[in-house]
């Protein structure tokens, strides 16, 4: 079970960083369903679905596009501090707080 969870988590995270989360998750649900219904593996569907959801979420956070606040943050970053716009991680160590701080000022 642990190997299946780790595999699903990492594969979905890596795949979601290249393609959109929702189509990937939708396409992967039948695979998860078949794994859970397999008599040989005896896997519960609930942890598999959580691993898929968490992996897709983590993979989506690796790229600028795909999340609304990331798109806004990229636009604001380009307008205000272009010298710090190297990568998402270097600009937005705490992206939610940074995102809110631009609108509170």
pLDDT (tens digit per residue) in 10-22: 999 999 888 878 8
Listed in sequence order, the DSSP H helices in 1-105 are 2-18, 21-37, 45-60, 68-80, 88-91, 95-104
Spatial separation of the C-alpha atoms in residues 15 and 8, rounded to whole Å: 10
Q: List pLDDT tens digits, range 47-61.
A: 999 999 999 888 877
Are the C-beta atoms of 61 and 94 separated by less than 8 Å? Answer: no
Per the model's pLDDT, the better-predicted residue between 77 and 25 turns out to be 25
Task: Say if CB 91 and CB 77 are below 8 A apart.
Answer: yes
Provide the pLDDT for residue 61.
Answer: 72
Which residues 6+ apart lie within 8 Å of 47 measured at CB?
1, 5
Residue 51 CA to residue 45 CA, distance in Å, equals 10
How far apart are the C-alpha atoms of 52 and 48, rounded to whole Å?
Answer: 6
Predicted TM-score of the model (pTM): 0.64
pLDDT score at 6: 94
């Amino acid at each position: 079970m642990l190997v299946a969870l780790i595999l699903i988590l990492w594969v979905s995270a890596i795949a979601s960083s290249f393609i959109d989360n929702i189509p990937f998750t939708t396409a992967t649900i039948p695979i998860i369903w078949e794994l859970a219904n397999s008599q040989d593996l005896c896997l519960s569907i609930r942890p598999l679905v959580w691993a898929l959801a968490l992996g897709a979420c983590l993979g989506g956070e690796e790229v600028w596009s795909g999340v609304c606040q990331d798109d806004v943050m990229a636009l604001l970053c380009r307008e205000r501090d272009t010298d710090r716009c190297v990568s998402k991680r270097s600009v937005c160590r705490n992206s939610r707080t940074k995102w809110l701080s631009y609108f509170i000022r």
